[in-house]
Structure 1
């Protein structure tokens, strides 16, 4: 059996990021940056007010209380033209441009309305530039905003919008095909005949792959018949950037996917992977496109997809971080692996970071997978004691 790392390296080696394209910012969520964008303006574009109150000259409030003449009012989107003179104040609101001549903002809580119309009484001192946001203090014009290889989320899109970026160059979204095989499979909702089971890997894998920002194409489920399998492969494979099959990945008599792929003239990289669940796995290449062959057992398919398929998708996306995300946790129970293969245990994590097994670990048990939010690797022939700090693999 081959190591997970060797199989992953072999799978990823020929893959490169897809061509880039320019998209409007409103359509860039989840996309990966191909070319770092630069700010078109300072953020903020002018000195502005950090809270509701009065724009003042700090030197006027060396001694308080002090009566000030209110000579105007400025809200966000407005602009005060005249310069504030000694003994004057301007009513301002959070986000408004700082009026010329002012060098501080006195909070409204530190003032009282004077008996004299058009005036206030300042009850507290302010330091120069107190409660003022400076032009460009967040971002300077022409500075890079988000580096290449970064996935765009809400925070990054907000920064780009604030800096005046209206479109951005990103890598094309990968088209990932899913082809499920098995004569025993029928769609949910149809009556089951003896020997049949409902097909569930397709929707499971599709949603897993969509969750990392890829476009998914689901092809019709194929029975275990060589002529049908070969025809489906010829149709599906050229139309996608990566084809993912599930079922027929082992070496039993009904497992025909490898031989059908070879009939196309494709190169097949065999080799069972030293991991549990998910030992049956293969990859193939044909006319410059790759295929991954996942097991048919649902949990095995899911785990190999997390550990092998998603890194391939991230490579096609141009993502800098190709490996699965991880978070630290603390085991609340002992986990033992008596096998010679690495065991990736389905786990559930509570809000305090305590990690436990999510249930029975058999490769067909979807109930424990549905209760899991991560995987913990237990090395071969080893035990992780309760209280051990571990890394939880997420998806």
Structure 2
């Protein structure tokens, strides 16, 4: 069996970022930028007011009893205006500062009456004025390749007039499930049949990871039919999940089916629980994960061995630890010594530590275990017994 670190290393070595594409700004949220961007214009593009108030020359209001003539109103979106000496103009936030003015006094610090205005405190030049280019100037670098496009980045790009950006697209992941016993979740069941829970669960996980799931369908345990589904999946997507058919039974057909397609098998079986039968291959330059048929196993193995690779394909960092938190076991737990086990746990926080209580029994067919759990802890290989108080790495669910 392949050790887990080695398995993940082999997976990551097999993938790289997808080719960049021009993406409408409205669809770029969550994508990795694939170009270095320089500012095409100053931001802000002109001196403007940072407050609702009065635009004036500070020197005109330096005297304590100074009163200035009210000489108009300036609103956001108005063309630039000029201000005569001894005058003040009512101005709104974002409106261009009139030529001749050098400061803005907030409305609440001014007293207007009979066509004049006076100020409680003498203003300072430059106060409440946003200078042209104070955010960034034309030609300055503003965003680098690899930057994730979020709310602030989208706003900046929109302010620069970018309708489209070069970005790494979301990986498309085709899903094929196999098994004579499977029916869709909206179909009635016959004797010996079960509903396919893995596909909807994996689709939800993929969407949360920034991918585009493409359910291809459920193949019966027939080699020719599985071959058709796999060919359709490879044609439709950048990566493929195949659930079921990866163990050692007579009807576990995924490995031979991939071999017939000319796929290169990178590894089969890893020293983990759940998910020991995990298969990883490359077919037509595309990564293929053969996931166990039990929905809990398929979700855990996808989280640990596929999510980091899909992040790399999307141009995002893949090196973040999948289990970044630390907590302590609140109860004893036993597992196979040779395997690394991912353990569903209830979790309690007291402000200083997280107590992890393993749910028992742990069974890869129990989706209710995942619903009940708040955390997924990882217990290392090399030992079987873990006592309460053991410090474990975990991820929040």
Q: Conserved in 2, the CA contact under 8 Å of 1:335 and 1:378?
A: no
Q: 1:55-110 deviations in whole A, cap 9, x for unaligned? A: 1222334343432211121111113421342x321111111112222222111111
Aligned partners of 2:348 and 2:75: how far apart in 1? 46
Deviation at 1:387, TM superposition (A): 11
The residue aligned with 2:252 is: 255
Q: Conserved in 2, the CA contact under 8 Å of 1:331 and 1:388?
A: yes
Aligned partners of 1:125 and 1:337: how far apart in 2? 75
Q: Indicate the SS of the match to 2:72.
A: strand
Q: In the alignment, which of 154, 157, 161 is matched to residue 158 of structure 2?
A: 161
Deviation at 1:146, TM superposition (A): 2.5
Q: 1:102-157 deviations in whole A, cap 9, x for unaligned? A: 2221111111222xx21112112333222122222222222233222233222211
The residue aligned with 1:345 is: 343
Aligned partners of 2:149 and 2:174: how far apart in 1? 24
Q: In the alignment, which of 122, 135, 139 is matched to residue 138 of structure 1?
A: 135
Q: Indicate the SS of the match to 1:285.
A: strand
Computed over aligned residues only, the root mean square deviation of the Cα atoms, in angstroms, reads: 2.9
Distance 1:104 1:260, change over 3 A: same
Aligned partners of 1:10 and 1:327: how far apart in 2? 21
Unaligned runs of at least 5 residues, structure 1: none
Unaligned runs of at least 5 residues, structure 2: none
The residue aligned with 1:290 is: 287
Aligned partners of 2:126 and 2:132: how far apart in 1? 12
The residue aligned with 1:57 is: 57
Aligned residues: 391
Q: 1:265-314 deviations in whole A, cap 9, x for unaligned? A: 32223332222322220111233222110111111111111122222222
Q: TM-score, normalised by structure 1?
A: 0.88
Q: Indicate the SS of the match to 1:125.
A: coil
Q: Indicate the SS of the match to 1:145.
A: strand
Q: Indicate the SS of the match to 1:301.
A: helix
Q: Conserved in 1, the CA contact under 8 Å of 2:7 and 2:267?
A: no
Deviation at 1:177, TM superposition (A): 0.9
Of 343-352 and 273-282, more deviation after overlay is shown by 343-352
Deviation at 1:373, TM superposition (A): 5.8
| Residues 300-339 of structure 1 aligned to structure 2 (within 5 Å) | 300-321=297-318, 323=320, 328=325, 333=330, 336=333, 338-339=335-336
Q: Indicate the SS of the match to 1:105.
A: strand
Aligned partners of 2:132 and 2:329: how far apart in 1? 50
The residue aligned with 2:4 is: 4
Q: TM-score, normalised by structure 2?
A: 0.87
Is residue 370 of structure 1 aligned with residue 368 of structure 2?
no
